[in-house]
Amino acid sequence: MCDPNPCQNNGTCVDLTDSFNCTCAPGWEDDNCTTVMTCDYPSIVHHTTNVSSGNELDDTITFSCTVGYENISGDSVRTCRCDGNWEGSPIHCAIVTCPNPPDVAFATISSQTGSNYNDSITYTCNIGYESTGGTLDRKCNENKLWDGTPPVCTIVTCPNPPDVAFATISSQTGSNYNDSITYTCNIGYESTDGTLDRKCNENKLWDGTPPMCSKKNTITTILKRNSGPIVAGGLMSFGFLLIPVVFCCLLKGRSKEKYIDTSSHEVSNSKEDEDYHVYDIPSETYQIYRGRQFGYEKTSIQQ
């Protein structure tokens, strides 16, 4: 029965009683060794891709993990064996993980979705600090590293404080966040607006508003002895203006305007300066009064 040889593709024929049996060469099968032997394609492996040269004897199939995953077990290349099975074992792909994100000086992690592939982390600089370098928003990459570079947070700085007319800076701790500055009005001046104590804020601006120093408002009363006409005169000072005022004449007789320099109390246009007595009265309160004391009469006005 084996002559001629019924077994194809280098198969070996064995005579049997009224029949034969073929022993097929590797890669062939069926009764006469005419069918190419194949391996069944392996089951789909999650998070993998594969490239195959076929599923016949000695064909190979190569598996690769998708981006963001890594092979933690199994064989990446498998070969179809003559018994119809693939040699090796299936691969197992797991998602990659980035290390714990680094701490950043003067910053906090305001949000983080995790530490696996494509997870993200966001840093926020502390109040009074600003980002001057690095990356505030970072993402875990397939190479197990956070993209970008660690952020750098630097303390904010306010501009040089403005000069203020008729005032000096009496103290200043610096020009960075939370530093403070104090203005003091010059002698003879007082604060009429703005802020004398200011602080550097997180928005890089000094809080409050620049102070305003104005000359103190005073009124000077000049009284003459009773031996002659009594004249109550005065000068109101508003900023740079000197305004002479005659308030009243208390006795009959000639009256005379008196000009006064409130900064020196120097009386001008007077023949007998020793006959006059000068009173400085704060401008905030005036009460009308009249009296006689030690040979003087005096009046004052309400402003």
Q: Tell me the average pLDDT across 275-300.
A: 38
Q: Tell me the average pLDDT across 121-131.
A: 97
Q: Which residue has the higher pLDDT, 118 or 241?
A: 118
Cβ 173 vs Cβ 157: under 8 Å:
no
Tell me the domains of the chain and their CATH numbers.
Answer: 48-95 (2.10.70.10), 107-155 (2.10.70.10), 167-214 (2.10.70.10), 218-299 (no CATH)
Q: Tell me the average pLDDT across 30-43.
A: 86
Cα dihedral value 6, 8, 10, 11, nearest 10? -60
pLDDT greater than 60 at residue 19: yes
- Average pLDDT of the chain? 77
Which one-letter DSSP state was computed for residue 273?
G
Rg, Å, the chain Cα set: 52
Which of 18-22, 104-108, 160-164, 262-266 has the lowest average pLDDT?
A: 262-266
Measuring CA to CA, how many Å separate 247 from each of 4, 106, 114? Answer: 153, 67, 84
Provide the pLDDT for residue 211: 95
pLDDT greater than 90 at residue 133: yes
Residue 83, Cβ density class (10 Å: 0-12 exposed, 13-18 middle, ≥19 buried): exposed
Angle at 136 between CA 134 and CA 142, to 5 degrees: 85
pLDDT greater than 70 at residue 269: no
pTM, 2 dp = 0.60
Strand stretches in 7-85, DSSP E: 12-16, 19-23, 28-29, 35-36, 48-52, 60-65, 69-73, 77-79
- Determine what percent of the chain is predicted with pLDDT higher than 70: 72
Provide the pLDDT for residue 278: 42
CA nearest neighbour of 208 among 242, 183, 229 = 183
